[in-house]
């Protein structure tokens, strides 16, 4: 096989090193980002609190509000069909992702067989196509926001099917295990480690820069592997008075890597800007990135002695990108008058709060946007590419709301439309210690339904007590769902709610095993009521 040579082994080694470097750099950047966010959140700036009428949205009938309640957002056109729409949207996203994995499997199987001069026999092709369709597994993990049932089902199918095909071909089940280890083990490890929620936006950017550097290195290695090119490089060096040909060789390689890395950095700065302009969504970026990781490994396994194979592989990846965008446009219809969800919570609840809010937000984003106040405990949970690039540029303070004028401007310019895949975004408001209260008041007046996570809520949680009192004063409890458990001071909650005198909020207890689906059902009921 042409692929069985030193260049292929070196290519795979570079992929391993790139993943290790990207992981180390990502870990450092995530830690620095979180520290910078926490430091700014604790800063106190002078701020003038606006009058309640300042935040009043356009006039419209209240959503389940009590008589005499404050101004409420106009009702959405979605409530009656939210449940069905959520199920349909999730199914479409997962189906498109599985189709993308199948496209990768079929096209790269053909590329592998043709490049290595192997006949395209039915069982051989089916086996290779199934093994190379493995990107569908981490893809479904992303598209379903970590749904274990869907991910496990797709993984089982794509692991068992090659075993069956190998058995029919008479090569034995071990062939399927070896094939998975050869093609899929390394990129799966990279994706699992770097695409976790804490690393997603940062890891994608860092890994992208590293892989662009790898692409440049492959082109350079392909050229320097030719003796004629080596002689030409050395001759040019000698003409400039550089005596060592080996030094010139490795200097050229390192210089090419640096130049390629710089080019990758520029490319991902552009991606961050395009993301801010809603050219693609976070899921589309993650799916594209993980498919690119797998495709690069598949091309390296096919044999990378000539740059033309790399170009063909990238052309197939570009075709996949176009097809996925077209599929979303054809199968996902925009939602008119999407309902806005405001998420409030007790800061410091950590991973439990993150898991719930992520699961609820993942479902709600199919029908409407989600707003929340950024907190130090979840500073890296929802970081987006343009936010990370703003941090890298040393301009993180620009993401923070410094006064009521900026709050009004943010409300005026906030995103009202969905991304190309039909999902809305999580709008995280970064506030200083002196600006989060007016920001909450403003967001409350411009939200259709509110989720308040009161787990670990006690009288000492003054910030959450302020939010609960604000909901009671403005009549917002009628469109609020409270999440409580055994750690919640229910007596204090009852006292605040009873003092409001109007409609009571819906309450979901999570210590009985209920989860995100029950919370979303309660939100839908509040929205429709």
Q: Which of 192, 162, 522, 196 is nearest to 381 (CA)?
A: 196
Domain C-terminal end among 276, 310, 331: 331
* Through-space distance between the first and last CA atoms of the chain, rounded to whole angstroms: 67
Number of domains in the chain: 2
**In-domain check, residue 29:** no
Task: Assign 172 to helix, strand or coil.
Answer: coil
Give mean pLDDT, residues 476-493.
91
* pLDDT band, residue 273 (cuts 50/70/90): confident
| 41 vs 486, residue with greater confidence | 486
Judged against a pLDDT cut of 50, whether residue 79 lies above it is answered with no
**DSSP secondary-structure letter at 504?**
P
Q: Is the residue at 85 inside a domain?
A: no
Beta strands, E only, 284-345? 341-345
Name, in order, each residue with C-beta under 8 angstroms of 327's C-beta and a sequence gap of 6 or more. 96, 99
1 in a domain, yes or no?
A: no
Please give the Cα distance from 41 to 56 (Å, whole number). 26
Residue 2, token pair as written in the block: 């042409």
* pLDDT, tens digit, 9 for 90 and up, residues 198-239: 666 677 777 777 766 666 666 665 555 556 655 665 666 566
Residues 6+ apart with CB under 8 A from 396: 33, 36, 37, 40, 390
Residue 488 lies in a domain: yes
Residue 341 · residue 449 · CB < 8 Å: yes
Q: Does residue 69 sit in the same domain as residue 212?
A: no
Q: What is the pLDDT of residue 389?
A: 73
One domain for residues 184 and 265: yes
The strand pairing partners of 102, in sequence order, are none
Whether residue 286 is found in the same domain as residue 304:
yes
d(CA 236, CA 30) in angstroms, rounded, equals 44
Q: Note whether 214 and 65 are same-domain residues.
A: no
Q: Is the pLDDT of residue 164 over 90?
A: yes
Bridge partners, residue 508, by sequence: 483
For 164, phi then psi, to 5°, come to -65, -45
Residue that finishes a domain, picked among 331, 352, 377 = 331
| Rounded Cα distance, 297 and 182, in Å | 10
Tell me the CA distances in angstroms from 154 to 6, 103, 446, one per residue in order.
Answer: 35, 15, 40
Interhelix angle 307-331/82-115, rounded to 10 degrees, is: 160
Tokens of 255: 């210089």
Alpha-carbon distances, residue 525 vs 200, 255, 425, 493 (angstroms): 33, 61, 22, 21
DSSP label of 483: E
Cα–Cα distance for residue pair 432/435, rounded to 1 Å: 5
Q: Which segment of 55-59, 60-64, 405-409 scores lowest on mean pLDDT?
A: 60-64
Tokens in use for 127? 């086996």
| Overall average pLDDT of the 403-420 stretch | 85
Residue 239 sits in the same domain as residue 212: yes
Instruction: Please give the pLDDT value at position 460.
Output: 87
351 has a pLDDT exceeding 70: no
Range from 66-75, 311-320, 422-431, 457-466 carrying the lowest mean pLDDT = 66-75
R_g of the chain, CA atoms, integer Å: 27
Question: Within 10 A of 387 (CB to CB), how many other CB atoms are there?
Answer: 23
Tell me: do 427 and 327 sit in the same domain.
no
Domain coverage including residue 192: 6-22+93-331
Residue 47 lies in a domain: no
| pLDDT computed for residue 115 by the predictor | 86
In a domain, 514, yes or no: yes
pLDDT of residue 110: 93
Average pLDDT over residues 81-98: 84
Flag the least confident range among 25-29, 277-281, 317-321, 445-449. 25-29
Average pLDDT, the chain: 78
Does residue 101 share a domain with residue 74?
no
Q: What percent of the chain has pLDDT over 90?
A: 21
Q: Give the pLDDT score at 51.
A: 42
Two structure tokens written together for 253: 């390689």
Is the distance from CB of 415 to CB of 278 less than 8 angstroms? Answer: yes
Identify the pLDDT of residue 450: 95
Least confident of 36-45, 101-110, 461-470: 36-45
For residue 466, being part of any structural domain is answered with yes
Shared-domain flag, residues 299 and 358: no
Residues 269 and 122 in one domain: yes
Is the domain of 419 the same as that of 317?
Answer: no
Mean pLDDT (whole number) for 390-419: 83
Instruction: Classify residue 272: in a domain, yes or no.
Output: yes
Place of tokens 């993943």: 19
Residue 162 clears pLDDT 50, i.e. is over it: yes
CATH assignment at residue 360: 3.40.50
Q: How confident is the model at residue 93 (pLDDT cuts 50, 70, 90)?
A: very high
CA 421 centroid distance within chain = 13
Backbone angles phi, psi at 400, to 5 degrees: -95, 145
Distances (CA, A) of 271 to 148, 213, 266: 30, 16, 9
One domain for residues 153 and 204 = yes
Of the residues 283, 299, 331, the one at which a domain ends: 331
Are residues 62 and 116 located together in one domain of the fold? no
pLDDT in tens, 129-154: 999 999 999 999 988 888 889 999 99
């Amino acid at each position: 096989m042409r692929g069985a040579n030193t260049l292929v082994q070196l290519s795979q080694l570079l992929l391993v090193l790139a993943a290790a470097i990207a992981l180390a750099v990502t870990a450092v950047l995530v830690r620095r980002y979180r520290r910078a966010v926490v430091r700014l959140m604790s800063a106190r700036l002078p701020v003038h609190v606006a009058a309640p009428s300042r935040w009043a949205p356009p006039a419209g009938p209240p959503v389940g509000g009590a008589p005499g309640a404050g101004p409420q957002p106009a009702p959405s056109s979605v409530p009656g069909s939210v449940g069905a729409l959520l199920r349909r949207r999730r199914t479409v996203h997962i189906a498109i992702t599985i189709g993308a994995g199948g496209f990768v499997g079929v096209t790269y199987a053909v590329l592998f067989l043709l490049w290595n001069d192997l006949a395209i026999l039915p069982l051989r092709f089916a086996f290779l196509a199934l093994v190379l369709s493995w990107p569908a597994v981490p893809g479904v993990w992303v598209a379903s926001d970590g749904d274990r049932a869907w991910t496990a089902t797709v993984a089982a199918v794509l692991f068992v099917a090659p075993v069956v095909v190998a058995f029919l071909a008479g090569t034995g089940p071990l062939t399927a295990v070896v094939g998975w280890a050869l093609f899929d083990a390394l990129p799966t490890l990279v994706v699992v480690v770097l695409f976790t929620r804490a690393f997603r936006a940062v890891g994608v950017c860092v890994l992208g820069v590293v892989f662009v550097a790898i692409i440049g290195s492959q082109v350079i290695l392909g050229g320097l592997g030719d003796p004629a090119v080596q002689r030409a490089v050395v001759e040019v060096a000698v003409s400039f008075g550089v005596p060592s040909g080996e030094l010139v060789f490795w200097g050229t390689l390192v210089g090419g890597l640096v130049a390629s890395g710089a080019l990758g950095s520029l490319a991902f700065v552009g991606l961050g800007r395009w993301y801010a302009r809603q050219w693609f969504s976070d899921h589309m970026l993650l799916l594209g990135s993980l498919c690119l990781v797998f495709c690069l490994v598949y091309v390296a396994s096919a044999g990378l002695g000539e740059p033309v194979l790399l170009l063909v592989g990238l052309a197939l990846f570009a075709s996949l990108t176009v097809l996925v965008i077209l599929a979303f446009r054809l199968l996902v219809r925009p939602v008119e008058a999407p309902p806005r969800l405001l998420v409030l919570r007790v800061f410091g609840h950590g991973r439990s709060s993150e898991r719930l809010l992520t699961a609820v937000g993942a479902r709600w984003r199919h029908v409407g946007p989600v707003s929340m106040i950024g907190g130090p405990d979840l500073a890296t949970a929802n970081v987006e590419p343009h936010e990370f690039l703003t941090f890298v540029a040393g301009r993180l303070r620009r993401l923070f709301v410094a006064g009521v004028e900026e709050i009004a401007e943010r409300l005026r310019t906030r995103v009202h439309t969905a991304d190309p895949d039909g999902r809305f975004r999580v709008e995280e408001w970064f506030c200083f210690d002196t600006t989060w209260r007016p920001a909450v008041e403003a967001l409350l007046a411009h939200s259709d339904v509110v989720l308040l996570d009161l787990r670990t809520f006690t009288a000492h949680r003054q910030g959450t007590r302020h939010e609960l009192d604000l909901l009671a004063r403005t009549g917002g409890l009628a469109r609020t769902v409270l999440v409580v458990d055994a750690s919640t001071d229910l007596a204090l909650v009852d006292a605040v709610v009873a003092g409001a005198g109007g409609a009571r909020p819906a309450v979901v207890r999570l210590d009985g095993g209920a989860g995100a689906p029950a919370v979303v059902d309660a939100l839908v009921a509040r929205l429709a009521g």
